[in-house]
Amino acid sequence: MSLQPGDALVAHNFGIQIDGVMVEFLQEVSSLTMDQDVIEYKQVSANGQPMVKKLPGARKAGECTVVRGATQSAVFTQWIRESIEGNMGSARKNASIIFMDYERRPVKRYNLSNAWCSKVEVSSAKAGDTSALTETITITFEELTLG
Q: What is the pLDDT of residues 39-71, one digit of tens each?
A: 999 999 999 999 999 999 998 899 999 998 887
Tally the C-alpha atoms within 13 A of residue 66's C-alpha that lie toward its C-beta. 23
Lowest mean pLDDT among 11-25, 49-63, 89-103, 112-126: 11-25
User: Is there a domain that residue 72 lies in?
Assistant: yes
Q: Which residue has the higher pLDDT, 6 or 116?
A: 116
Residue 86, pLDDT score:
92
User: Is there a domain that residue 122 lies in?
Assistant: yes
Q: What residues make up the domain containing 106?
A: 14-146
Residue 72, pLDDT score:
65
Q: Which residue has the higher pLDDT, 102 or 135?
A: 135
User: Is there a domain that residue 3 lies in?
Assistant: no
Residue 9, pLDDT score:
65
Share of the chain above pLDDT 70, in %: 94
What CATH number has the domain bearing residue 21? 2.30.110.20
Residue 10, pLDDT score:
66
Whether residue 140 contacts residue 118, with contact meaning beta carbons closer than 8 Å, is answered with yes
User: Is there a domain that residue 49 lies in?
Assistant: yes
User: Is there a domain that residue 67 lies in?
Assistant: yes
Q: How far apart are CA 48 and CA 66, in angstroms?
A: 52
- What's the structural domain count of the chain? 1
81 three-class SS? helix
Residue 87, pLDDT score:
93
User: Is there a domain that residue 90 lies in?
Assistant: yes
Neighbours of 112 (CB within 10 A): 26
Q: What is the mean pLDDT of residues 78-89?
A: 92
Q: What is the mean pLDDT of residues 10-31?
A: 84
User: Is there a domain that residue 7 lies in?
Assistant: no
Residue 67, pLDDT score:
92
